[in-house]
């Protein structure tokens, strides 16, 4: 964590260097390189099957790239396990909400604090003294997030019963509970209506500003992406075809041909 903290806003937090990934014979990502700077909102876009989600999976250690390296907060690695990514401060949300369905909103967000909680097993047995104090301390933190995301009313509702838009919000809350340095959002607005999208955009911007969290997001809604992000990477068939500010990307002929030209 200290490594990530030492990096100043604007400096490179994560760099993806010439990464390739293949499943059996199918190439999902081919020689992609880009970087994410601290405190920016970085979008990864591309048509379906462009390898966007695979890219996120590589970043947080679900997939191990066949080639190439990833450096995060100055440390370079080839293989990492997802929980190691978590310890280093990488959090994410999923395209299809991956909440803990049997638990309440609060418990889901509390689960995001797992790494920060370290009272021993003995105290956990008693749920008294230090263990309770720790629970309360983290509960307070989670309540801040609940307040931030305006989900007070569903605090104790099992997430399985929530509408989709709220589930996405809870999932964001769970990721925020990890106090991530880098937050990966996989289509945070998929399947939302206009109003929900506006809310979510606002939350993403607020997270970025309020907590200074670096955000990498995949999103289909071009309007949203252009509004939100500082810089955009465009992938197509697993290859990077463009990288730059929204304006630059918008003007890039390859992008127009490959992506914006096609109706989405």
Binding region for other proteins (CB under 8 A) = 23, 53, 57, 60, 62, 81-83, 85-87, 91-92, 94-95, 98-103, 106-107, 110-115, 117, 119, 121, 124-127, 131-132, 134-136, 139-140, 143-144, 146-148, 152-153, 155, 174, 178, 206, 209-210
Query: How many Å apart are CA 127 and CA 36, to the nearest integer?
Result: 41
Query: How many Å apart are CA 26 and CA 39, to the nearest integer?
Result: 34
Q: Any residues with CB less than 8 A from the CB of 141 and at least 6 apart, and which?
A: 113, 177
The DSSP code for 153 is G
Answer whether 173's CB lies under 8 Å from 110's CB. no
Of 205 and 222, nearer to other proteins (C-beta) is 205
Of 171 and 236, nearer to other proteins (C-beta) is 171
Of 5 and 144, nearer to other proteins (C-beta) is 144
Of 158 and 246, nearer to other proteins (C-beta) is 158
Q: Any residues with CB less than 8 A from the CB of 57 and at least 6 apart, and which?
A: 63
Answer whether 229's CB lies under 8 Å from 197's CB. no
Q: How far is the CB of 62 from other proteins (least distance, A)?
A: 6
Q: How far is the CB of 35 from other proteins (least distance, A)?
A: 22
Q: How far is the CB of 175 from other proteins (least distance, A)?
A: 8
Of 111 and 190, nearer to other proteins (C-beta) is 111
Q: How far is the CB of 262 from other proteins (least distance, A)?
A: 24
Q: How far is the CB of 81 from other proteins (least distance, A)?
A: 7
Closest to 89 measured CA to CA, from 209, 211, 218 = 211
Q: How far is the CB of 142 from other proteins (least distance, A)?
A: 9
Of 213 and 259, nearer to other proteins (C-beta) is 213
Q: How far is CA 3 from CA 49, 74, 92, 116, in A?
A: 34, 7, 20, 17
Query: How many Å apart are CA 174 and CA 168, to the nearest integer?
Result: 10
Answer whether 37's CB lies under 8 Å from 13's CB. yes
């Amino acid at each position: 964590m200290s490594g990530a903290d030492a990096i100043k806003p604007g400096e490179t937090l994560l760099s993806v260097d010439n990464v390739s990934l293949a499943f059996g014979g199918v190439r999902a990502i081919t020689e992609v390189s880009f970087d994410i700077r601290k405190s920016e909102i970085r979008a990864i876009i591309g048509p379906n099957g462009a390898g966007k989600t695979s890219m996120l999976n590589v970043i947080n250690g679900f997939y191990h790239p066949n080639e190439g390296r990833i450096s995060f907060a100055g440390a370079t690695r080839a293989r990492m396990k997802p929980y190691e990514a978590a310890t280093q401060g990488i959090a994410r949300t999923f395209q299809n909400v991956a909440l803990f369905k049997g638990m309440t909103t609060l418990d889901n967000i509390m689960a995001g604090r797992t790494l920060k909680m370290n009272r021993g097993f003995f105290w956990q047995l008693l749920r008294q003294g230090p263990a309770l104090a720790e629970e309360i301390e983290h509960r307070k933190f989670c309540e801040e997030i609940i307040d931030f995301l305006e989900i007070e009313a569903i605090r104790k509702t099992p997430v399985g019963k929530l509408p989709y838009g709220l589930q996405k919000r809870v999932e964001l809350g769970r990721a925020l509970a990890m106090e991530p340095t880098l937050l990966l959002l996989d289509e945070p607005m998929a399947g939302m209506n206009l109003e929900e999208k506006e809310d979510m955009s606002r939350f993403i911007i607020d997270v970025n500003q309020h907590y200074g969290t670096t955000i990498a997001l995949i999103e289909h809604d071009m309007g949203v992406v252009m509004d939100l992000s500082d810089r955009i990477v465009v992938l197509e068939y697993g290859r990077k075809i463009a990288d730059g500010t929204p304006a630059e990307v918008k003007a890039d002929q390859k992008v127009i041909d490959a992506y914006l030209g096609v109706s989405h």
